[in-house]
Structure 1
Amino acid sequence: MNSLKQEILTEVMQRSGSGAALSDEIWSYAELGYQEHRTVAAQIAWLEAEGFRIERNVAGISTAFWAEAGEGGPLIGILGEFDALANLSQVDGALTEQADQDGQPGHGCGHHLLGTGSMLAAAAVHAVLKRHGIPGRVRYYGCPAEEGGSGKVFMARDGAFDDLDVCFSWHANSVFAMHASDTLAIKTAVFHFRGRASHAAVSPHLGRSALDAVELMNVGVNYMREHMLPEARVHYAMLDGGGHAANVVQANAVVGYTIRAPEMSDAEELFDRIVRVAQGAAMMSETHVEVSVKSGLSNVLTNSTLEKVMFRNITQVVGPVQHSNEEISVASQYQETISETDVIHACKVFAKGEDIRTPLHQGIVPFDGTPTRVPVSTDAGDVSWIVPLARCFGPCYAVGTPFHSWQMVAQGKLSYAHKGMFAAAKAIATTVIDVIETPDLIVEARTELDRKRRGRPWVCPLPADLQPQMAEL
């Protein structure tokens, strides 16, 4: 093993105690998007103690920051996330669904581990580079509001990632694997229909129902489903049905739509069709519709150049995560609360169909450089259009644990969750060393990115005047 990489492993584990404590602290804060003030303060304090220079209020966002250390050489980015999800508060370690505080947020996507693990990787790299006087800079990004808030997209719009050479990230999962997923682009909008109120019995002919317009729009969009890309997804939610009185012609009604497609150009085309359906519904009902785009995320451009290097480090340097009998016993109890369908689905999507229905994954999912399609969306996609990006999964939960579930929150402070975080930190940090020691990797990764962009520049999917919006309970 490369001696620098051995030092990296040591540096990560030397910080394991403070890293576990910090992730637990952030788990307890469980703050929603753009409200992660205590989390940001805790992360900045930890990074300043490690000798990092802090840039606050990135893109004018109070909970976005970066921390940089090192001098000269390439500039390597490491992404961190830390926002929680609404209404997912759970008692730590509980084996039944049990809210710690009713209605409060919880870390149902493991972002308390994600941000902390990325910080551990950045600190380990900085310590080794400084000790040996090796040129190179590492920059940790504190990225708010991944859960629907497009935090990284606002940061990208402000140019926060433009000067990076390459970038890395990871995500908590129940398997140890590469996160080489070309996710779906997404666009979210709200359609506000305005009509004319009237008494539904005395003068219904004088009213123009905004609720009718929403229903007509939904029917029209349903007829589109046969005539869109098979990979596309269209979801909707009734945000305002016009009130609770049935004997009133509703003058206002609001419906929200989320459109996903393989690339942003596909999502934009589908969105334009849906807008025309809404306009048709307004015409039919003699109402007026206003359309407000709320968020947008580009699809991920995977980078096999960096991913293969990271996978080599996972298999040859880091190795599978090992667990005690007690940890396996606890995980098996959580797995009993999860349906077999969830476990099979996790194996299919994240383990490439391998049957790994053990309580905890103590192996490594094979990877040959071929990306997989996972029909989710992430604001890391926009970063991947700007700079070569590689990501991995860390094995932090019982196999099959569904994302955004009470089981994921309840396991978030357990010892095996920490072990998965440490493994991901090691995978990122050792790969950063490879990039610094082999500058040609940067050239190869950039060439691959240029090829996949096919001459297309990154275009921000957000309206120029759209500002970050706080998540709500």
Structure 2
Amino acid sequence: MTNPIAIEISDLIDRKQNLFIGVSDQIWEYAEIRFEEFKSAELLCRTLEQEGFRVEREAAGLETAFVASFGSGAPVIAILGEFDALASLSQRSNEAAYNPVEPGANGHGCGHNLLGAGSLAAAVAVKDYIERHGISGTIRYYGCPAEESGSGKAYMARAGLFGDVDAAFCWHPAGVNAVPHMSTLANLHVHFAFRGKSAHAAAAPHLGRSALDAVELMNVGVNYLREHMIDQARIHYAVTNAGGSAPNVVQADAAVDYLIRAPKASQVLELYERVKDVARGAALMTGTTMSFRIEGGASDLIPNAALERAMQGFMQELELPLYSEDDLTFAQAIFATLSDSDKQSAAMQVGKEAASYLEKQPLARFVAPYREQLMMMPASSDVGDVSWNVPTAQCAAVTWAYATPLHAWQTVAQGQSAYAHKGMLFAGKTMACTAIAALTDGELLARAKAELAERLAGEAYVCPIPDDVQPARRSSQTAS
């Protein structure tokens, strides 16, 4: 490692690594789901305040959103942090067998405890670097709630919180070290509720109107719709209210949540109208009434090669984490629990040669080469809403064994592992170095902004969440 920025940032983060690891592990313990991350958000706010940041709580009117700032004036650099968990993914840490802490409870199945703390490390390191060198500009940590289905960043973008930002950086836990040049699927999360009439299912079924029948017919209709939509689109649903548990009562109320995805927001909106028509038809067929509300939405991700190339350079410059025998033994034990289909899917993504290596040693000690060829990730992220407003780049860092699937107990089990901590700090260093480059290199920012303008081609950002929609919180027993 010869780059002076990389050397200094590595030292700054290593000096405070216990602080960042402690925050990550505590957020893992809290495991709070979307818009209910009160303890996690407050822990991050207090830590940032102790490190010298000014913190604005309840940003954009969201109870668990915040913006922490240090410095003044331009350029303004944003580091994005997430900290929400997933419902029903409880799992004991550092165990290579399914063993929930509490059956049905929440768990960090996407590694957002690591994401939030890794971004914290980056923001604090940049702050320390600014102080040391007297650099002008502002570093901000954006505390973004509810990435899982709630789309907290979209609400924050709708409120104009990224209006004066010059560049934004984020990362995600993964099984590889990489700077992907990718887009993600835009989406809408919609709640459909049906209201019918209860009746005795044996004595007077003709007097009842089943809301559950309407939900089932809607689901059947949407399943037939799949043949007539573009290949890249995705529609998923979860029945959130089946109308009760008594089979001898016609269910008067039932509800279903839908997540509609496609590469572009315009395609999502077209599908949304068709799904609403199916719901109306289900209500008509069953003699029920139907209502709906949007609960969240995310835009497609606009990549930025100028920032990505800078980030890739620093990721290759920094020293990769070293793994102990205990690290490798636990990672191998996790890998042994994965299905053949998980391993085959991962092999298709990394290639035959890398897969052969990782099957024997499932903690990747290399940085994948950067390819400026757009990849479509068949998932969604509200980072997309930030990327429509400001040049944005992300990296991925190794925090779990190769081929570990997202949103699975294995992901939760590795969330407090020593190698997850190492990957988190590596990601923090990568983001911090790139943020320093953006703060000090006006030409880099100019190229990044010009690229964003070219990719948007005059199209303006429109938040997928209507202005009159406010986030709905769910209890920890409800799937997000």
Normalised TM-score (structure 1): 0.95
Residues 419 and 447 of structure 1, relative CA distance in 2, 3 Å threshold: same
1:60 Cα deviation after fit? 1.7
Instruction: Return the alpha-carbon distance in structure 2 between the equivalents of residues 102 and 224 of structure 1.
Output: 36
Alignment check: 8 A CA contact 2:20 2:118 kept:
yes
Q: Which residue of 1 aligns with 2:173?
A: 172
Residues 285 and 126 of structure 1, relative CA distance in 2, 3 Å threshold: same
Q: Which residue of 1 aligns with 2:468?
A: 465
Q: Which residue of 1 aligns with 2:333?
A: 333
Secondary structure in 2 matching 1:270: helix
Secondary structure in 1 matching 2:169: strand
Deviations 1:115-162 (A, max 9, x none): 111111111112112211121211011111112221111111111111
Q: Which residue of 2 aligns with 1:290?
A: 291
Instruction: Return the alpha-carbon distance in structure 1 between the equivalents of residues 63 and 216 of structure 2.
Output: 39
Counterpart of 2:402 (choices 399, 402, 409) is: 399
Q: 234-243 or 254-263: which moved more?
A: 234-243
Alignment check: 8 A CA contact 2:90 2:107 kept:
yes
Residues 155 and 352 of structure 1, relative CA distance in 2, 3 Å threshold: farther
Instruction: Return the alpha-carbon distance in structure 2 between the equivalents of residues 99 and 443 of structure 1.
Output: 49
Q: 417-426 or 280-289: which moved more?
A: 280-289
Q: Which residue of 2 aligns with 1:149?
A: 150
1:17 Cα deviation after fit? 1.9
Residues 159 and 220 of structure 1, relative CA distance in 2, 3 Å threshold: same
Q: Which residue of 2 aligns with 1:81?
A: 82
Instruction: Return the alpha-carbon distance in structure 2 between the equivalents of residues 431 and 402 of structure 1.
Output: 28
* 2:323 paired with 1:323: yes
Paired residue type of 2:188 = K
1:282 Cα deviation after fit? 2.2
Residues 100 and 208 of structure 1, relative CA distance in 2, 3 Å threshold: closer
Secondary structure in 1 matching 2:187: strand
5 Å matches for 1:224-263? 224-263=225-264
* 2:139 paired with 1:138: yes
* 2:442 paired with 1:439: yes
Instruction: Return the alpha-carbon distance in structure 2 between the equivalents of residues 451 and 352 of structure 1.
Output: 32
Deviations 1:400-439 (A, max 9, x none): 1121222211211111111101110111111112212221
Instruction: Return the alpha-carbon distance in structure 2 between the equivalents of residues 248 and 100 of structure 1.
Output: 36
* 2:371 paired with 1:360: no
Paired residue type of 1:71 = S
Q: 289-298 or 25-34: which moved more?
A: 25-34
Q: Which residue of 2 aligns with 1:95?
A: 96
Deviations 1:158-214 (A, max 9, x none): 111111001000011111111433111111112222233344444444443333332
Instruction: Return the alpha-carbon distance in structure 2 between the equivalents of residues 121 and 18 of structure 1.
Output: 13
Secondary structure in 1 matching 2:33: coil
Q: Which residue of 2 aligns with 1:188?
A: 189
Q: Which residue of 2 aligns with 1:379?
A: 382
Q: 409-418 or 209-218: which moved more?
A: 209-218
Paired residue type of 1:56 = R
Paired residue type of 2:245 = H
Residues 100 and 447 of structure 1, relative CA distance in 2, 3 Å threshold: same
Residues 238 and 4 of structure 1, relative CA distance in 2, 3 Å threshold: closer
Q: 138-147 or 190-199: which moved more?
A: 190-199
Q: Which residue of 1 aligns with 2:429?
A: 426
1:266 Cα deviation after fit? 0.5
Alignment check: 8 A CA contact 2:323 2:419 kept:
yes
Instruction: Return the alpha-carbon distance in structure 2 between the equivalents of residues 88 and 110 of structure 1.
Output: 12
Paired residue type of 1:38 = K
Instruction: Return the alpha-carbon distance in structure 2 between the equivalents of residues 105 and 220 of structure 1.
Output: 32
Alignment check: 8 A CA contact 1:386 1:458 kept:
yes
Instruction: Return the alpha-carbon distance in structure 2 between the equivalents of residues 27 and 140 of structure 1.
Output: 19
Alignment check: 8 A CA contact 1:5 1:433 kept:
no
Instruction: Return the alpha-carbon distance in structure 1 between the equivalents of residues 307 and 129 of structure 2.
Output: 21
Alignment check: 8 A CA contact 1:307 1:369 kept:
no
5+ residue gaps, structure 2, are none
Alignment check: 8 A CA contact 2:197 2:210 kept:
yes
Residues 200 and 97 of structure 1, relative CA distance in 2, 3 Å threshold: closer
1:247 Cα deviation after fit? 4.1
Q: Which residue of 2 aligns with 1:272?
A: 273
Q: Which residue of 2 aligns with 1:219?
A: 220
Alignment check: 8 A CA contact 2:149 2:189 kept:
no
Secondary structure in 2 matching 1:182: strand
Instruction: Return the alpha-carbon distance in structure 2 between the equivalents of residues 68 and 54 of structure 1.
Output: 6
Secondary structure in 1 matching 2:78: strand
Instruction: Return the alpha-carbon distance in structure 1 between the equivalents of residues 10 and 90 of structure 2.
Output: 33
Q: Which residue of 2 aligns with 1:454?
A: 457
Instruction: Return the alpha-carbon distance in structure 2 between the equivalents of residues 70 and 352 of structure 1.
Output: 44
Instruction: Return the alpha-carbon distance in structure 2 between the equivalents of residues 200 and 326 of structure 1.
Output: 60
Instruction: Return the alpha-carbon distance in structure 2 between the equivalents of residues 188 and 352 of structure 1.
Output: 34
Instruction: Return the alpha-carbon distance in structure 2 between the equivalents of residues 48 and 280 of structure 1.
Output: 53
Secondary structure in 2 matching 1:412: coil
Deviations 1:203-247 (A, max 9, x none): 444443333332332222222111101000111222223333444
1:111 Cα deviation after fit? 0.9
Instruction: Return the alpha-carbon distance in structure 2 between the equivalents of residues 325 and 250 of structure 1.
Output: 57
Residues 220 and 105 of structure 1, relative CA distance in 2, 3 Å threshold: closer
Deviations 1:79-101 (A, max 9, x none): 00111122222222122211223
Q: 15-24 or 225-234: which moved more?
A: 15-24
Secondary structure in 1 matching 2:377: coil
Alignment check: 8 A CA contact 2:180 2:370 kept:
no
Secondary structure in 2 matching 1:359: coil
1:319 Cα deviation after fit? 4.2
Secondary structure in 1 matching 2:90: coil
Instruction: Return the alpha-carbon distance in structure 1 between the equivalents of residues 91 and 163 of structure 2.
Output: 39
**Percentage of identical aligned residues:** 45
Q: Which residue of 2 aligns with 1:2?
A: 3
Residues 339 and 465 of structure 1, relative CA distance in 2, 3 Å threshold: same
Paired residue type of 1:459 = V
Secondary structure in 2 matching 1:11: helix
Instruction: Return the alpha-carbon distance in structure 2 between the equivalents of residues 87 and 452 of structure 1.
Output: 39
* 2:331 paired with 1:300: no
Q: Which residue of 2 aligns with 1:42?
A: 43
Paired residue type of 1:434 = A
Paired residue type of 1:337 = T
1:4 Cα deviation after fit? 2.9
Instruction: Return the alpha-carbon distance in structure 1 between the equivalents of residues 324 and 395 of structure 2.
Output: 23
Alignment check: 8 A CA contact 2:399 2:424 kept:
yes
5+ residue gaps, structure 1, are none
Counterpart of 2:416 (choices 413, 432, 440) is: 413
Residues 232 and 11 of structure 1, relative CA distance in 2, 3 Å threshold: same
